[in-house]
Every structure is written in C-alpha cells, then in structure tokens.
Amino acid sequence: MDRYAVIGNPVAHSKSPQIHAEFARQTGELLIYSALLSPIDGFAMTVAEFIQAGGKGANVTVPFKLEAFELGHRLSDRAKAAGAVNTLSFIDGVMIGDNTDGVGLVRDIISNLDFDIKDRRVLLLGAGGAARGVMLPLLNESPASITVANRTVARALELADHFSSQGRIKAMRFDELAREKFDLVINATAASLGGDALPISVEVFAENALAYDMMYGKDEMPFLKLADEAGARIADGLGMLVEQAAESFFIWRGVRPDTIPILKQMRGY
Ligand code: NDP
C-alpha cells in the first residue's frame, strides 16, 4: 500500500491520520497514513528515510514548513507565495512542494460557512507563516481590502508590502484598528494557543461579520468569545484543517474526498 505521513515535532496530537484514514475509506483508495515524529534538527533525514521506506507523500507541520520549502526540488505557485510547504509529493526521485493551508481556509469560509469574500473588508491578525500562506488565496477572491495587523508591526508591514501589487493591502498596529470595521476577521496569530486575548475591541466587527480563528480544539478561545460578544458569526480552524487535508489528498491521489462527513464526525454531530 502507498504510504503517507504527517511529519512534525510534536506530532502525536495531529488529527491528520484520522482525517486521511476517513478520506481513504470514503474514496476506496488503498493507503496508509501515519504520524512521524522528526528530530528538530533531522527533518531532511526523516524525509529521506520515509522515501526510502516507500513514502509517496507527506504533510509537514510545525516547525518544519520552512525547511520543507527549502527541501523541495519543485514548488507550486501557492508554495512560492506562502514561502512555506505543507504538502510534499515524492515522484520518481523528485520532491514537489505545495501549500494547501490557504486554499483550505478559503474553501472552509466560502463553501462550508457560505461566506462570500468578494468585495468584503478583511482583517488578518498575525503575520507569521499561516498569515502569509493565506494571503494569495484570499486575494484571489477579490476582497475590497486586506488589512494586516500584528504584534510586531514590522512583520505586518513586510507582509503587506510583499503582496501590495496584488490588491488593496495595508498594515496597521493593533491600537489603530478601532477606527475601522471589517466584514471578515481572521485570527492567524498563535495567541489562542496560550489562551491569550488580542488587544482588539468589539468595534472592529462590522454588522454580519464572520470571525474566524485558525486555532481549533481549545475550550477557551478569547478571540472568538470577543467576536461572539460583538454579535459576529464565529468559526474555529477545524474546517480549514480538514479542507487543507482534502486538497493534499487530491494532489496525491487525484480524487477529491467529501469533507462534510468527517467534519460532522469530528465536531460530534
Ligand atoms: P508563527 O509562529 O509563524 O506566527 C505566530 C504569529 O502569532 C505571529 O504573527 C506572532 O506575532 C503572533 N503571536 C504569537 N503569540 C501572540 C500573542 N500572545 N499575542 C499576539 N500575537 C501573537 O505561527 P503560524 O503562523 O504557523 O500559526 C499561527 C496559528 O495558526 C497557530 O495557532 C496555528 O495552530 C494556526 N494554524 C492553523 C491551521 C489549520 O489548519 N487550522 C494551519 C496553520 C496554522 P509576532 O510576529 O509579534 O511574534
């Protein structure tokens, strides 16, 4: 059977094996998908050993997405724009890097949450790898504007500058945000990981806004709590996780799985 894996450190908590097992069952594809713990300083070796053992592809998670980008012999446009790789395919000795995180987010927002991004004012909180990875897929949906705000303002400026030729993008400090309202507010910071609140107010949410936290599986998510108090619709990042997995599965197997059943199963309804 063809072998696939998610490579990370830590990786035991990853839901990817469960998701891909369900995709394989649903589509009748014969494959094994496991979680592979890589030493922090041994990512390239882990990948080489996995290929040697018959690996056909891998998802890459924290903290190796940048290393996977360096390792890829060929990179998709999405990977180049993101500056990071979360999906590797090993084909005839060639390592191909792609990035499905951004398309996963956009698909969750548009298809699962039925929210049209076109002509909407988007606020992207954070300027790390995840934020960068979603910029191009968001821009492809022709939003009215994208505003990037980050704790370290220089990184927000850099990110906005990098994509400035492709849409109306600006960078702001958190404390400047109260002056404007946004239709779609995406938390791409790691603040929810530690249960930290962001220094933003309920004022940023426009009427009928959607608030999206890329984090998932946490009981306490201060960003979503704030958005809820503001009357916004709220969504966590589980849908993004499942959608990015489906896109990886499609790259590897040429078959697109139905994401709705696994999302329902994972949400417990
Ligand atoms: P990075 O480490 O690359 O970036 C972290 C970002 O969070 C930076 O912008 C950083 O700001 C900011 N940040 C961290 N802590 C705080 C805090 N306490 N207050 C304010 N800002 C903070 O991480 P990633 O971009 O890779 O990941 C970000 C989040 O997205 C994570 O929670 C991750 O789990 C999630 N994610 C979810 C996915 C999914 O499928 N659902 C896929 C990918 C990521 P600064 O620059 O100032 O340090």
HSE of 104, CA atoms in CB hemisphere, 13 A:
26
The reply to whether 105 falls in a domain is no
Same domain for 211 and 122 = yes
Residues above pLDDT 70, as percent of the chain: 100
Nearest to 38 by CA among 67, 15, 16, 17: 67
Q: Are residues 191 and 209 in the same domain?
A: yes
Give the separation between CA 218 and CA 221, rounded to whole angstroms. 6
Q: What is the pTM of this model?
A: 0.95
**Distance of CA 214 from the midpoint of ligand 1 (Å):** 9
Q: Does residue 69 form part of some domain?
A: yes
Over 90: is that where the pLDDT of 8 sits? Answer: yes
**What total number of domains does the chain contain?**
2
Q: How confident is the prediction for the chain on average, in pLDDT?
A: 96
**Same domain? 78 vs 124:** no
- 179 and 209 in a single domain? The answer is yes
Asked whether residue 104 is assigned to any structural domain, the reply reads no
Ligand 1 atom closest to Cα of residue 216 = 41
Distance CA 163, CA 139 (A): 9
Give 49's Cβ-side CA count (13 Å radius). 10
Is 107 a domain residue? no
Q: What's the farthest any 2 CA atoms get from each other in the chain? A: 56
State the CATH number of the domain containing residue 213: 3.40.50.720
Residues 140 and 95 in one domain: no
In a domain, 108, yes or no: no
Q: What is the pLDDT of residues 46-87, one digit of tens each?
A: 999 999 999 999 999 999 999 999 999 999 999 999 999 999
219, 251: one domain: no
Give the tens place of pLDDT for each residue, 123-165: 999 999 899 999 999 999 999 999 999 999 999 999 999 999 9
Q: How far apart are CA 141 and CA 137, in angstroms?
A: 7
Ligand 1 center to 74 CA (angstroms): 26
Give me the CATH number covering residue 53.
3.40.50.10860
Which two three-digit tokens encode residue 11?
């990786």
Nearest CA to ligand 1 atom 8: 128
Atom of ligand 1 nearest to the CA of 62: 26
Instruction: Report which of 105, 7, 15, 32 is spatially closest to residue 252, judged by C-alpha positions.
Output: 32
Give the structural domain span for 140: 115-235
Query: Span 80-106, mean pLDDT?
Result: 97
Q: Which of 5, 19, 79 is nearest to 49 (CA)?
A: 5
Q: What is the pLDDT of residue 119?
A: 98
Residue type, 29: E
Mutate which of 189, 216, 244, 266 for ligand 1 pocket (most atoms within 8 A of beta carbon): 189
229 and 245 both lie in a single domain: no
Examine the domain organization and report whether 246 and 186 are in the same domain: no
pLDDT tens per residue across span 203-257:
999 999 999 999 998 888 999 999 999 999 999 999 999 999 999 999 999 999 9
Residues 150 and 220 in one domain: yes
Query: In this structure, is residue 124 part of a structural domain?
Result: yes
* Ligand 1 mean position, distance from CA 246 (Å): 22
149 and 224 fall within a common domain: yes
187 and 166 in one domain? Answer: yes
Assigned domain for 106 exists: no
Active site residues: 65
60 shares a domain with 157: no
